[in-house]
Amino acid sequence: MRWNDKGLVISVKKYGENSLILHLFTINHGVHAGLVRHNSTKKSNYIYELGNILSVEWTGRLEDQLGFYKAELDKSYLFTIINNSLTLDALNTICSMLKIFLAERQVNSVLYHETIKIIKYLNDKDIKWVCKYIHWELFLLSELGYGLDLSKCAVTGEIEDLKYVSPKSGRAVSRKGSGKWVNKLFILPEFVQKLNTNIIDNNDLSDAIKITTFFLNRYISSIGIQLPASRDRFTNKLKKVEFNIE
């Protein structure tokens, strides 16, 4: 069997003396592994960096085999990411979460393109990419079947003055609808609810991370895994950075 595709490098593992097991998040074949014959040179090492986009040919005798990749570098976004520990942690987190959460060979081209968008944003000098990253986690949750409904209040049906998120239902709650449960609800930052809003501060960011962490943990507890350590490092580092985005 043989096919051609483009894919994002999300995992690289040495195999034997001269081979790598490469996991790619591809456009048309989902997360897919393959063996790469690898000569350890500076040029070839650069091709298989996390976050690179490769044009690949996969071959295998049977569809369910590991198979082999022939790869060429299509695009690299590492030129600024790699010089910033925060954006590098973000990239490692994105790749780790895709590798852990997504079922192998399950096609999700929409998530693929959304992921490439956030990786492009990591190259921006403007710290607003943090907002985009939170939105990406929310989109990932929706693709995993754990999406939040922030369109209207779960209690009153109102679409205005939405200030909270219910940890039980994942739905928005208005100030009026919060009532006696207010202390049990997550605070809903405006930039999370309104995707075109980029104004955040440290409190907004902390509140947003609490929401996505809670629902990501709810998902992974249902399948018996844990959030990757890279995400803990990344979010802990975010909490120590002073943000004032306008």
**N-to-C CA span, the chain:** 52
pLDDT band, residue 165 (cuts 50/70/90): very high
The tokens 């456009």 sit on which residue? 27
Q: Looking at residue 62, what is its pLDDT?
A: 80
pLDDT at 245: 54
pLDDT of residue 243: 63
* Confidence bin at 241 (pLDDT 50/70/90): confident
Please give the domain boundaries of the chain with CATH numbers for all domains: 2-76 (2.40.50.140), 79-150+188-245 (1.20.1440.120)
Over residues 72-93, the pLDDT tens digits come to: 999 998 877 888 889 999 999 9
The reported pLDDT for the residue numbered 197 is 64
What does each C-alpha distance from 117 to 7, 34, 114, 123, 193 come to in angstroms?
A: 14, 25, 5, 10, 20
Segment 15-25 mean pLDDT: 90
Model pLDDT for residues 201-233, shown as the tens digit of each residue: 888 999 999 999 999 999 998 888 889 999 999
Q: Which residues pair with 165 in a beta bridge?
A: 172, 186
Tokens representing 169 are 């239902």
Q: What is the pTM of this model?
A: 0.91
pLDDT tens column, 98-153:
999 999 999 999 999 999 999 999 987 777 888 899 999 999 999 999 999 999 99
Q: Are 158 and 174 in contact (CB under 8 A)?
A: yes
pLDDT at residue 18 in the model = 83
In tens, the pLDDT along 32-53 reads: 999 998 765 556 668 899 999 9
Query: With left for phi above 0 and alpha for psi between -120 and 50, is residue 51 left, alpha or beta?
Result: left
